Structure 1
Amino acid sequence: MAAMNSVHGNDNHTKILVVDDEANMRHMLSALLGDAGYCVDTSADGRAALELLETGTYDYIFCDIRMPSMDGMAFLEAAGSRLAETSVIMMSAYGTIDTAVEAMKKGAYDYISKPFKPDEILLALKKAEERESLKRENRALKFRLERIAQPRQFGEMIAESRSMQAVFELGKRVAQYDITVLITGQSGTGKELMARGIHTAGKRGGQPFIPVNCAGIPENLLESELFGHKKGAFTGADRDYKGLFEAASGGTLFLDEIGDLPMSLQVKLLRVLQDSQIRPVGTTRSKTVDTRIVAATSKDLAAQAEQGNFREDLFYRLNVMPIHLPPLVERSEDIASLVQFFIERYQARFEKKITGISARAMSLLMQHSWPGNVRELENVIERAVVLAEEPELDEDLFAGLGRPENKNSGLDAIAAGFSLKSGRQALEQVLIQKALAETGGNRTRAARLLEISHPSLLSKMKTYGIG
């Protein structure tokens, strides 16, 4: 075993190793550095110092060059990568400039000639500490710059904004547990991509992910589509059919636009969530399924439940883990990275060489309100790549986006004439449409925003022909 002595300072956790074959030199440096508050170990030669490196690490090493068994230069070579995070200061009474240069080449940070004054040791150590501090700051800065330059990702979604980073973190945590998730957000915000990300990041990732749009299947077919049917259950049922719940068993069933699920099927869905049982159409026996449910809606299900348009007990079953995707207009810092992402996707698909987008074109994209959210942005970039004749996407390819007249068309209608009555009516129409859009068509909440009664809102909607 290596011989070792330790001196521990009272207020500093920095560890220093002194390697020198002279006992007096080891004792002097231990006392000096220990009084300065450092934790100090000592070793009589390079071989013993290597044994210490096998069991621990040091922030700084003071190492003599001439020693028996293994000298300082051989120690530097043998330690190699184990000194990657350690600053080594070499010491010698026989050194020359060539010796110092050779030591630096082998990984030493500094060189001190013997004999030296105590202040020289402390000064060399202070310089080494300042160097290490700068290295840590540079590493931290590089890490932050890399995070800024490369938008973080969840599944197929990318984003830089804090709001979406919080959503991604929540999605990663939720993915590890078999709990029901309800994703809300405007159309085009990426609810299905979020659901796929949750599925892929969890333990069911290798199993089926089956999406179904509850608003896109006729009501008379939806029950059979979800729960399956037995041969002869109805006209046209010429064979047994395994429904989507059973097909997704072991994986995830994504129920998009769950707010449009007919009331009659809401009861059956509630049963699946409660006891994992389905009953195919035309049978009396139930089947057990192991299917995770992720649902999504652009509607306010809480308000729908209040109005009796959605079962309240089903809402609470679905809303175990709510995740809300903010609209693109609220996270404009994501637009640039999304634009680059879509440019790379579609230039590869259409085999076109697009190097980027002009500053004026990007300005138009940043000004646009994006009512269709990320889906609209993707469509705009796809169209621009198809039409582009130059390597850079220019503003001409985005005509009509981000212009003030697009945003203020309602105000233009108000100011079209001089009639106060017509202006008031036009303003009412604009505000009602805005309130309904904000609440996802929830008239009760829209009335509250407009600070009018619900019957008054219904009357005005009828007057202005607002559906």
Structure 2
Amino acid sequence: MNTGSDTAARQKTAEQASILVVDDEAHMRHMLGALLTRNGYAVTCAAEGSAALEAMARRDFDYILSDVRMPGMDGLELLDHIAENGSAATVIVMSAYGTADLAIEAMQKGAYDYISKPFRLEEVLLVLRKAQERERLRQENRRLREKLQALDSDSAFAGMVGVSGAMRAVFQMAARVARFEATVLITGESGTGKELVARGIHSLGRGEEAPFVAVNCGGVPADLLESEFFGHVKGAFTGADRDKKGLFESADGGTLFLDEIGEMPMELQVKLLRVLQEGEVRRLGAVRPRRVQVRVLAATNRDMAELLRLGRFREDLFYRLNVFSIHIPPLRERPEDILPLSVHFVGHLGRSMERKDMFLSPAAQSRLMAYNWPGNVRELKSALERAIILADGHAILPEHLPAQLGAQNRERRVEDVLGTFSLKEAKRAVEKRLIGRALDVCGGNKSRAAELLDLSYPALLSKIKLYGLGTGAGQEVLSE
């Protein structure tokens, strides 16, 4: 028996969601209408498919609960019309003549779930609550994306996402220095987005049309360093069969981004300092230098003070590069950015991978927030790309995330996880958890969960009742 507080809680959950009940049996419409009204839903009833379409033409509904077998337009035909009209309503179908094929056909036509008659009243409410939770998560992800878009238009920088005070400060400094020609040294751990900041400074300063040339200073072979940076003339060395521009000439009029500047060899540091001071380069083997107008931005994940102390980096070059410095903090020091970044990546990657309706489940969000992200934003993006590939439905669950995010859970002993040494109790605990996870994976859709668990639909309903996973004992049974 429900208490008054239970009813109030359900009314709060429903929040006056609107539902259209479609059934040719008058007593079924009456009983469902009374149940749903009592639990806080705004209910409209229709006796068959055509009447349902007329009701839908007059107003929008959040949910549609429809019988399959009806005279005139049946439930499957109604699903076709709903799809054609582009209704956003969540549709749940029900029938006393249900088969697995019928359930699959209904869901292929867009139904969220299938209920087999006779059913308990609590079962209807359970399916609706699961559907509401799924929609709540989607709206929550959508609102966060909209918030991020608003931030992008107001104060974000070059498409980067960050709501923390630390990142807002980074964006403001980068936007300010972009207007000037000063060299900038960008520091931060690997994967924090140093090149993105450099590209943003370039775009705001020199413009998108100007060249942006990026080079990893530690990735150029030692014997090609001078030729790569400054170019060469034909015949300058064996194999130089033509003139070649260097990186500085390629970036003329734009920006040269020197990534991992701390890896640059000492012999090249001297020549780089000369270019910064004089604004000209001399190709290898050439007689006369060439003037270049290049803005230099540099980045490193190394401790520059330590490199200076060890004599591995020239002080005069450091001070020339470090006219203006920007430090990007690691992701673990700005946890408030983890969820906005995650939602941004899920939306962006989902669209590019043709899975635009993906969203993060609460459990996945908790797992993301609990991890310290040693690989920073780059690691987060890779983890979410993997999750989108692995997810079967629209929800990203903890099991879709990389194993290291839950490493501490895997280290727990089996008796700690199951809470018992008893084989009988352990079997029940594992079965209960598997059923619960299957329902989560399928968004509460019991027909799909039964297929995933390799159980018959009635057997799944029985176990849901046995383990108290949402159905209640002693409830009324509705049947045709």
| Class of the TM-score when normalised by the shorter of the 2 chains | 0.5 to 0.7
The one-letter amino acid paired with 1:191 is: K
Secondary structure (helix, strand or coil) at the match of 2:161 reads: strand
Q: Does 2:168 align with 1:199?
A: no
Q: Does 2:158 align with 1:155?
A: yes
Alignment: residue pair count? 265
Structure 1 residues without counterparts, runs of 5 or longer: 1-144, 410-467
Tell me: higher relative CO, structure 1 or 2? Use CA pairs within 8 A at least 6 residues apart: 2
CA positional deviation for 1:217: 1.1
Structure 2 residues without counterparts, runs of 5 or longer: 1-145, 413-480
Tell me the equivalent position of 2:373: 370
Per-residue Cα deviation, 1:7-31 (whole angstroms, up to 9, x for no partner):
xxxxxxxxxxxxxxxxxxxxxxxxx
Residues 306, 312 of structure 1: 8 Å contact kept: no
The one-letter amino acid paired with 2:202 is: H
Secondary structure (helix, strand or coil) at the match of 2:403 reads: coil
TM-score by length of structure 1 reads 0.54
Per-residue Cα deviation, 1:386-405 (whole angstroms, up to 9, x for no partner):
11111010111115344463
Deviates more, 1:344-353 or 1:209-218: 344-353
Per-residue Cα deviation, 1:65-85 (whole angstroms, up to 9, x for no partner):
xxxxxxxxxxxxxxxxxxxxx
Tell me the equivalent position of 1:218: 221
Tell me the equivalent position of 2:354: 351
Equivalent of 1:250 in 240, 250, 253: 253
Secondary structure (helix, strand or coil) at the match of 1:382 reads: helix
Secondary structure (helix, strand or coil) at the match of 1:295 reads: strand
Q: Does 2:282 align with 1:279?
A: yes
Secondary structure (helix, strand or coil) at the match of 2:192 reads: coil
The separation in 1 between residues aligned to 2:397 and 2:343, in whole angstroms, is 14
CA positional deviation for 1:231: 0.5
Aligned CA distance change for structure 1 residues 303 and 219 (closer, same or farther; 3 Å): same
Per-residue Cα deviation, 1:356-409 (whole angstroms, up to 9, x for no partner):
100110111111110100000000011111111110101111153444639999
CA positional deviation for 1:208: 0.4
CA positional deviation for 1:245: 0.2
State which structure, 1 or 2, has the greater radius of gyration over its C-alpha atoms.
Answer: 1
Residues 233, 284 of structure 2: 8 Å contact kept: yes
The one-letter amino acid paired with 1:304 is: L
Residues 386, 401 of structure 2: 8 Å contact kept: no
Tell me the equivalent position of 2:399: 396
The separation in 1 between residues aligned to 2:229 and 2:355, in whole angstroms, is 42
Aligned CA distance change for structure 1 residues 228 and 406 (closer, same or farther; 3 Å): farther
Residues 266, 311 of structure 1: 8 Å contact kept: yes
The separation in 2 between residues aligned to 1:180 and 1:353, in whole angstroms, is 40
The separation in 2 between residues aligned to 1:213 and 1:219, in whole angstroms, is 13
Residues 204, 252 of structure 1: 8 Å contact kept: no
The separation in 1 between residues aligned to 2:399 and 2:406, in whole angstroms, is 13
Equivalent of 1:188 in 185, 191, 206: 191
Deviates more, 1:395-404 or 1:327-336: 395-404
The one-letter amino acid paired with 2:347 is: E
The separation in 2 between residues aligned to 1:180 and 1:205, in whole angstroms, is 18
Deviates more, 1:347-356 or 1:225-234: 347-356
Aligned CA distance change for structure 1 residues 232 and 271 (closer, same or farther; 3 Å): same
Note the aligned Cα RMSD (angstroms): 2.2
Using the aligned pairs only, state the percent identity.
52
Tell me the equivalent position of 1:264: 267
